[in-house]
Amino acid sequence: MTIDGNYEIVEMEVWSKEVIDLVEPGFIRIKGNRGTLHFICVDGDMAIRKVKSGGYTFSWDGNDECDPASGLGDFTCDGDILTGRIFIHDGDDSSFVAKKISGKGESMKTDRNDPCPCGSGLKYKKCCADKHDASEHQRVMGPVMGELKELLKGKSFGSLDEANAFLHQHNQQRNQAPSDDFHGLSPEQMHRFLHFPFDTPHLIAFPSSLDSHLQAAILSLFNLLAAAIGDDGLKATATGNLPRNFCRESALSYYGEEEYRRISRFGELRTEPEFRVMHTTRLVAGLAGLVRKYKGKFILGSECRKLLAEQGQPGIYPRLFRAFVREYNWAYDDHLGEIPFIQQSFLFTLYLLTRYGGEWRSCIFYEDSFLRAFPNLLPQVQPVGNYYSPEKVVRLSYSARCLERFACFFGLVEIERPGSDRYPEEFRVRKLPLLDEVVQFHL
């Protein structure tokens, strides 16, 4: 019988599960006569030997909070369960029970959807779960462990349960404390912002009743599209796009003659992909279930007709808003690469705009705030050619996707560009009244 596989440490005599999983879920991984183990802050490489009794002994060598550590151990295997004891030289020893995780190569990482213990506000699986490099692990978790060391210095506890309760309370208080990097949000609140934006009513509300005089670019474009579709539908082109005549006429109506002449000085907007904002609106309306194709025509869905009849634009706007932030791919309109986290953090952007958008501020202020809040994003981003570093890619992507093509497109902010240059990288942003109506923060 082979014992190769991945095992989650589910129980230890001396430490609770919460302590075992302090940095990441405890595990033992075995392949042949070698293995690795992790629990609390202990990491080690194992050398395993089978004994005549049928059990196994092992020695291990590694580190404890990046200090050298080693020890011995033994275990028996009964099906998918390892039962044994581990010894730390000049330290503690404890019995343990480890349960095999089914599936080849699957890691023993439980509670991956919980907030990461490093305080980033991200889910554990999106933050420190896969950081096996020792230097990176120490960089991220070092401050946390140093804080715990200071906290426990000179403390004594009457029981293990008392110690576990103390650590649990500390972690809870840490996750609930406001963070300067998050502009007053706690890691726990940031976790809700990032992963449950529409399911945290005690923190964020998206009122269903909006003002009847909404002004937003996407609504103007949707109205042009809905009017052209009407009761008879709008015939799609052979490539499945909106017809050319409609694109040219609606572009002229949307931009006005002077702006249209400037935009089309190198060629008229004859096709849907050329009329980019209409293309985006049509795609988002489709994702929202408001517009669909039927027998070669674009038609309005029955629910769309009902919303227009009963609520008008205030009924359409929330559907477009949710489809845009939850389903539409924000990277579709540029060539800066997929950075889905920028889209996932949309609510943090709205929080920043709500808090600071009362006066004109440079887009650089919001870029800096984003990078300060999520510094671990940069190592995940690739440079674009020889021109844009990872930081430049993130800055350009953030301002274009969050501020221009989201907040401005939905009428939540206005943008002002300096001088006669209509498309400089830096611009100023100020919130509009619609922002406070669309999203309300209860902090």
Distances (CA, A) of 394 to 270, 351, 369: 32, 19, 12
Distance CA 330, CA 144 (A): 34
Whole-number pLDDT of residue 21:
80
Helix (H) or strand (E) holding 441: strand 440-441
Which residue, among 384, 212, 207, 235, has the nearest Cα to 311 in the 3D structure?
212
Determine the longest span between alpha carbons in the chain, in angstroms: 90
- Give tens-digit pLDDT for 310-361: 999 999 999 999 999 999 999 988 888 889 999 999 999 999 999 999 999 9
Distance CA 84, CA 62 (A): 19
378: DSSP letter? G
Confirm if 281 and 224 have CB atoms less than 8 A apart. no
CATH 2.40.128 correct for 5-100: yes
Whole-number pLDDT of residue 133:
47
Angle between helical axes of 276-287 and 244-255 (0-180°, round to 10): 110
Tokens representing 262 are 């400037």
The size of the chain, in residues, is 443
Tokens representing 304 are 């769309």
Residue 188 half-sphere exposure, CB side, CA atoms within 13 Å?
11
In this prediction the pTM is: 0.68
Residue 176 half-sphere exposure, CB side, CA atoms within 13 Å?
6
For residue 388, what are the β-bridge partners? 384
Distance CA 26, CA 38 (A): 5
Whole-number pLDDT of residue 293:
93
In the chain, which stretches have pLDDT less than 50?
103-111, 132-133
Cα–Cα–Cα angle for 296, 299, 304, nearest 5°?
155
Distance CA 341, CA 250 (A): 33
Distances (CA, A) of 381 to 187, 273, 339, 390: 23, 28, 7, 5
Distance CA 194, CA 12 (A): 33
Confirm if 325 and 409 have CB atoms less than 8 A apart. no
428: DSSP letter? E
Distances (CA, A) of 236 to 218, 229, 360: 21, 11, 42
Q: Which are the contacts of 182, defined by CB distance < 8 A and separation ≥ 6?
A: 121, 189, 190, 348, 373
233: DSSP letter? -
Confirm if 58 and 74 have CB atoms less than 8 A apart. yes
Domain regions of the chain by residue span: 5-100, 124-194, 207-328, 334-443
Confirm if 360 and 415 have CB atoms less than 8 A apart. no
Whole-number pLDDT of residue 165:
77
